[in-house]
Chains A and B, each alone.
Chain A
Amino acid sequence: NAGVMQNPRHLVRRRGQEARLRCSPMKGHSHVYWYRQLPEEGLKFMVYLQKENIIDESGMPKERFSAEFPKEGPSILRIQQVVRGDSAAYFCASSPAGGSMNTIYFGEGSWLTVV
């Protein structure tokens, strides 16, 4: 499967724990995006990364959330000290370049449940 790979698909965390969500972009894609989908809502942009660079994190909560896309390995979205309101589906997407001609392709998501 050459699509965007996300894991874990489902994650349960207790309040106060850390959640780490991983995303491997499509082959040949160097741009990664994270979106969050709350129940019964559309997707909301969180962050845009290129290898070793955060390009735009304007959609990320200022506290507890961080993202990285290292030179080697998958992109990681980290949520520290999770709260119930963090329960959502987190989707990663990728594209070969950030220009206007390219569509982004989504993975199947990671569903985080905070209990």
Chain B
Amino acid sequence: QQQVKQSPQSLIVQKGGISIINCAYENTAFDYFPWYQQFPGKGPALLIAIRPDVSEKKEGRFTISFNKSAKQFSLHIMDSQPGDSATYFCAARTLGEAYKYIFGTGTRLKVLA
């Protein structure tokens, strides 16, 4: 119940295309859902985050879509660029243990020039 399932494991997208990464969870106590971007040899960096009272959040080319009833959320990267090539992790946490992030297993994105 504490898992966050992420798919696909890897993704190849043409430059200018849309990259879509999906995550699903079971624990209805999760109240915060961030996405992290990680480049090789670097630490994860917060990209965008959403709370379950909002169905969509957009920041630049990055959008989170959140479906509370289905317990799913997804990251959409519009106009994907080669510089977006990285590993993306979804995560979730509960209000009661706000420090304990549960991470998905990651999606390795490659954007072809």
B60 at interface by CB-CB < 8 Å: no
25 residue pairs A–B, Cβ–Cβ below 8 Å: A4-B43, A33-B99, A35-B101, A41-B105, A42-B6, A42-B106, A43-B89, A43-B101, A43-B103, A44-B103, A45-B101, A55-B99, A56-B97, A56-B99, A95-B99, A100-B32, A100-B93, A100-B95, A100-B98, A103-B49, A104-B99, A106-B36, A106-B44, A107-B43, A108-B41
A85 at interface by CB-CB < 8 Å: no
Known: A43-B44, A108-B42. 14 other contacts (CB 8 A): A4-B43, A42-B6, A42-B103, A42-B104, A45-B99, A95-B99, A98-B98, A98-B99, A100-B95, A100-B98, A103-B34, A103-B49, A106-B43, A108-B43
Interface residues of B, count at CB 8 A:
26
B residues lining the A interface (CB < 8 Å): 6, 31-32, 34, 36, 41-46, 49, 89, 91, 93, 95, 97-106
A105 at interface by CB-CB < 8 Å: yes
Q: Which residues does chain A contribute within 8 Å of B32, judged by CB atoms? A: 100
* B46 and A105 contact, CB distance less than 8 A: yes
From residue A62, how far is it (CB to closest CB) to chain B in Å? 18
In this complex, the member of B34, B45, B97, B102 whose beta carbon has the largest number of chain A beta carbons within 10 angstroms is B97
